[in-house]
Amino acid sequence: MNKRVYIESYGCQMNVSDSEVVASILAKDGYTPVKTAEEADLVLLNTCSIREKAEYTVMQRINEMNNLKARNRDLKVGVLGCMAERMREDLLEKKKVVDLVVGPDAYRTLPELLEKVGTGQKAVNVILSREETYGEIEPVRLDTNGVTAFVTIMRGCDNMCAFCVVPFTRGRERSRDAVSITSECRQLVRDGYKEVTLLGQNVDSYKWHQTGSITTAVANGTRSVDAKGRHNVNALATVDFADLLEMVALACPTLRIRYSTSHPKDMTDKVLAVMSRYGNICKYIHLPVQSGSSEVLQRMNRGYDREWYLERIASIRQYMPDCAISTDIITGFCGETEEDHRQTLSLIEEVGYDMAFMFKYSERPKTLAARKYPDDVPEDIKGRRLQEVIDLQKCKSAERLASYLGQAHAVLIEGVSKRSAEHLYGRNTQNSVVIVPRVHNDIDLRPGMVVHARIAHASPGSLQGAVLEVLNEKVVGP
């Protein structure tokens, strides 16, 4: 009997990638992914706990499942991911609609847990692991455009930032086998994908140890090239993130490579040198700062101060003057003063970010901040400071987009524009959205093509370009 599963992902790109691993595990148990919850025998909500609002959204969605169950008594509902680990008791006791609760390191046990659910019992497994990476599981690509894909390179986080719940919901850092990562990227190329994003909570702390020969690896600064031009290491190899980037760039020269997320305290010049060396590594870095005040950063337990962060920005500009930089900013963290807030605004001015994710601080249970610091900035002040950050960043984003006017960029087309069926959208190496006409010189452009486009107009959120040439796979870099 064919079983149908609907997986709904919330939060970060990591959750999207995890949902694809879950789909692969369930496929071997006879489940086929479907597009809506109404079609499914099993609904899985892959959840996020990073902010209170994210949890509230999922709770509302869980309540909606009661209506679905009323129409389909055989429907099973499961909660996966970070909320599953953090709120397992509430989910099972207070939300009667939930049959299954599974943490991010327990997805391999889903078939056994579902068998238990089939007998009328509740099932739960939220045990965190120090080894699980799902490295050998080939994901089932969900809701894909067939052009871009995610590949998880590591799991967990050791940083213990004062505001962050991730170490408690995803466990300790562990890095995935570099060879399996490269193999998955090669498979993406064979399947027709044109871009990959390498994912980790802190990619800069990626580290994999292996004894023996690693084809296409670059490790410890020692390289040798065989007759076929493949790079080999024949020693005890430690592959760090810069090495991994180079491995993937060499193994998949037609694949655009992005990554997320970096941590300012761990980003090295070695990574920047590799990025500058390869045209298929996109010139875009997401480098969360969180605050422009050294005093706030110290309370946040970020491991760097304002000066260190600005030195990292200067190094990025030195290696790649055209590199785009985005960030995360939290307003109203515990003890933040007006002077601290002004320092955040001045840092935004100084860096000139292309884009930012901006939020009010919300206290999360079990975190260092919840245990140690009072949440003492009033909500109205948090909101006012957030709006000031948003307004300034809008200006900076507009300035950055306007700076591209007249330039010619390689644009990887991803899909049809939301505003016009006569236009397509794609992204340049700096991760800016570029809108182009659907037809060029009687050629119908389509997702997966790379075009050379001259930027003719800049709006607040995107660029518009005139296509000069269709490049296809000849050029994937800038």
48: CATH: 3.40.50.2300
Which of 366, 388, 403 terminates a domain? The answer is: 403
- Both tokens of residue 244? 């991994």
Q: Are residues 362 and 413 in the same domain?
A: no
Nearest alpha carbon to residue 290 among 371, 347, 233: 347
Residue pair 332/377 in contact by the 8 Å Cβ criterion: yes
The answer to whether the Cα torsion of 164, 133, 248, 469 is positive or negative is negative
Q: What is the pLDDT of residue 475?
A: 46
Q: What is the pLDDT of residue 210?
A: 74
**Mean pLDDT computed over 158-165:** 94
Under the banding of pLDDT at 50, 70 and 90, the label for residue 156 is very high
Q: What is the pLDDT of residues 240-278, one digit of tens each?
A: 999 999 999 999 999 999 999 999 999 999 999 999 999
Q: What is the pLDDT of residue 351?
A: 98
Nearest alpha carbon to residue 113 among 86, 82, 76: 76
Q: Are residues 59 and 110 in the same domain?
A: yes
- Please give the backbone phi and psi of residue 355, each rounded to the nearest 5 degrees, phi first: -160, 160
Range of the domain at 324: 283-403
Q: Is the pLDDT of residue 280 over 70?
A: yes
Under 8 Å CB-to-CB from 221, ≥6 apart: which residues?
Answer: none
Q: Is the pLDDT of residue 173 over 60?
A: yes
329: CATH: 3.30.750.200
Beta strands in 15-105 (DSSP E): 31-33, 42-47, 76-81, 100-102
Q: What is the pLDDT of residue 212?
A: 55
Under the banding of pLDDT at 50, 70 and 90, the label for residue 473 is low
Q: Are residues 375 and 442 in the same domain?
A: no
Mean pLDDT of the chain: 91
Q: Are residues 379 and 416 in the same domain?
A: no
Q: Are residues 448 and 464 in the same domain?
A: yes
Q: Is residue 301 part of a domain?
A: yes
Q: Is residue 164 part of a domain?
A: no
412: CATH: 2.40.50.140
Q: What is the pLDDT of residue 375?
A: 97
Under the banding of pLDDT at 50, 70 and 90, the label for residue 322 is very high
Count of domains observed in the chain: 3
Q: What is the pLDDT of residue 73?
A: 87
Q: Is residue 185 part of a domain?
A: no
The amino acid sitting at 237 is A
Q: How far apart are CA 242 and CA 63, in angstroms?
A: 45
Q: What is the pLDDT of residues 33-91, one digit of tens each?
A: 999 999 999 999 999 888 888 888 989 999 999 899 989 989 999 999 988 888 888 88
Nearest alpha carbon to residue 207 among 158, 141, 143: 158
Residue pair 125/113 in contact by the 8 Å Cβ criterion: yes
Q: What is the pLDDT of residue 87?
A: 87
Residue pair 46/84 in contact by the 8 Å Cβ criterion: no
For the whole model, what pTM was predicted? 0.90
Q: Which helix (H) or strand (E) holds 435?
A: strand 433-437
Q: Is the pLDDT of residue 227 over 50?
A: no
Beta bridge partners of 210: 237
**Mean pLDDT computed over 395-407:** 96
Q: How far apart are CA 181 and CA 177, in angstroms?
A: 7
Q: What is the pLDDT of residue 224?
A: 43
Residue pair 126/106 in contact by the 8 Å Cβ criterion: yes
Q: Are residues 369 and 431 in the same domain?
A: no
Q: Which residue has the tokens 């991803």?
A: 414
Q: What is the pLDDT of residues 406-442, one digit of tens each?
A: 999 999 999 999 989 999 999 999 999 999 999 999 9
Q: Is the pLDDT of residue 231 over 60?
A: no
Q: Is residue 54 part of a domain?
A: yes
Q: Is residue 455 part of a domain?
A: yes
Q: What is the DSSP string of 4-27?
A: EEEEEE-SSHHHHHHHHHHHHHHH
Under 8 Å CB-to-CB from 166, ≥6 apart: which residues?
Answer: 50, 82, 156, 157, 201
Nearest alpha carbon to residue 42 among 105, 129, 100, 93: 100
Which of 346, 369, 403 terminates a domain? The answer is: 403
Maximum C-alpha span of the chain: 66
